[in-house]
Structure 1
Amino acid sequence: MNNLYNFLTGPALWFSFAVFLVGLLVRLVFLFGLSRERDRVFYNHIDWRWAFRSIWHWLIPWGSASMRLQPF
């Protein structure tokens, strides 16, 4: 019984983590490819500089346009 426990908490645990992570990666790649196929307009207009600028403006108080229009 102790050998079974050691096996399940050792190599079998790491094997199950590896299967999970590989499956997760495959699914993410599949969904990313599907989104690029179905939503070409979004990927044609994506710009990382504007994305980081938007995140920065949402992080600082009164940085976003809606917060400046209605602060409270």
Structure 2
Amino acid sequence: MVRPQVGEVAKRQAITNPNTIQSIKRHMGTDYKVDVEGKSYTPQEISAMVLQNLKSTAEDYLGEKS
């Protein structure tokens, strides 16, 4: 799986990438699903991907793994 783009990078490429997901938090707790490249994701799964990305970025910056 390709590492998801988060934050400003994701905002910049949103125009050219139809798989860009925005405002997923508002769908938390619903049965909303997002289809990306033939796979369906819940808002919770998308949120988990974002948090994993943020954790990885912080670990890379700080030079440590937990």
- Higher relative contact order, chain-length normalized (CA < 8 Å, sep 6+): 2
TM-score (norm 2): 0.36
Larger radius of gyration: 1
Greater share of helix: 1
Greater share of strand: 2
TM-score (norm 1): 0.33
